[in-house]
Amino acid sequence: MSFTSTVKNEASKLETGKIEKIAELSAFLRNSAILDNGIKITTENASVARLVFNSLKELYGVIAKITVRQGYNYNKNYIYILEVGKEAEQIKKDLCLEEMVPSSYLIDDDASKRAYLRGLFLACGSVNDPKKSRYHLEFLVEHLEYAKFCSHLINEYGLNSKVLKRENKYMIYVKEAEKIGDFLRMIQAIQALFYYEDIRIYRDHKNMTNRLNNCEQANVDKIVETAMKQVKDIELIEEVAGLDLLDEKERVAAIYRLKYKEASLQELSEIISIETDEKITKSGLHHRFHKIKELANRIREKEKK
């Protein structure tokens, strides 16, 4: 079962009040029903089909005709078809199904807005499993004006949704991981939210660990690279004139660098301090190697001439 189906199964089983059911049913039928000669809904999700059937019965006293067929896809999932005949016109009018955007009375409070967005998701929403490489929540709708309306409604909750044309439809999408989690919380898919957040936190922790490891490796590479340059400077001086060309402090630093070629400045300063009983700081050692580098560069310049 896909993560989208898991979310829809949970969201369609919530216990809600009549006002919320009206908003939810309006959004669902607006985006999934065929409205010619009545109302016809087709879905592969049994839980969603049950929700629509019960909502129609509770709100309008309508017993929708149900047909169950086996699909033709490779999974051969069952397809649930619900049909409403003569009562359809009143339902269409009450739920603003033939208007470009619903009337404000359908979403005049927070609970109704959340219910409307839940119905929107049940009808035309999908969300990627957080185990996959990217976070993505989307809704596909028919008209640009309606897409902008839905995006605005979603963004009332700070989810930063955007609208994009996709072939002959319009996609409202959310990409930010935390915002997608907020949407799941908003539609009250709590178990799906727990799963989503567990995976998201694990992925974030893993990514942070990788970044820290990469950063640490880069620092190690930099330390080794710097040490090798110091070794080359010292070897050049030793080859040309010997280490006696250096003063006492620089010569000590050079000898220990040749002995501990891959040690960091901090490590080397501690080794020298312990073995010579003379305290030398990382900064002091850096200054000595700077003097050695200047001497090596003068030798190189002289050799070029």
What residue type is 182 in one-letter code? D
Q: Is 280 exposed, middle or buried (0-12, 13-18, 19+ CB in 10 A)?
A: buried
Count CA atoms closer than 13 A to 9's CA, side-chain side. Answer: 11
* Residue 277: strand, helix, or coil: coil
Is 70 inside a domain boundary?
yes
Mark whether 89 and 227 lie in a shared domain.
Answer: no
Q: What is the 3-state secondary structure (H, E, C) of 40-66?
A: EEEECCHHHHHHHHHHHHHHHCCCCEE
**pLDDT score recorded for residue 73:** 61
Residue 90 lies in a domain: yes
For residue 235, what pLDDT is reported? Answer: 87
Indicate whether 183 and 220 sit together in one domain. no
What amino acid is encoded at 11 in this protein? A
CATH number at residue 52: 3.10.28.10
Q: Amino acid identity, residue 101? A: V
Per-residue confidence (pLDDT) for residue 271, from 0 to 100? 87
- Judgement on whether residues 224 and 170 belong to the same structural domain of the protein: no
Q: Is residue 165 part of a domain?
A: yes
Residue 93 lies in a domain: yes
Residues 245 and 133 in one domain: no
Domain coverage including residue 167:
3-188
pLDDT in tens, the chain (305 residues): 789 999 999 999 999 999 999 999 999 999 999 988 889 999 989 999 999 999 999 999 989 899 988 766 666 678 899 999 888 889 999 999 988 998 999 999 999 999 999 999 999 999 999 887 688 999 999 999 999 999 999 999 999 999 999 889 999 999 998 999 999 999 999 999 999 999 888 877 777 777 777 777 777 778 888 888 888 888 888 888 788 878 888 888 888 888 888 888 888 888 888 888 888 898 888 898 898 888 888 888 887 76
Question: What is the pLDDT, as a whole number, of residue 202?
Answer: 83
Q: How far apart are CA 141 and CA 122, in angstroms?
A: 13
**Residue 110 belongs to a domain:** yes
Instruction: Kindly state whether residues 236 and 182 are assigned to the same domain.
Output: no
At residue 133, the pLDDT reads: 66
CA dist., res. 45 & res. 141, Å (int): 19
Q: What are phi and psi of 175, to 5 degrees?
A: -110, -25
- Asked whether residue 271 falls in the same domain as residue 172, the answer is no
The answer to whether the CB of 95 falls within 8 A of the CB of 25 is yes
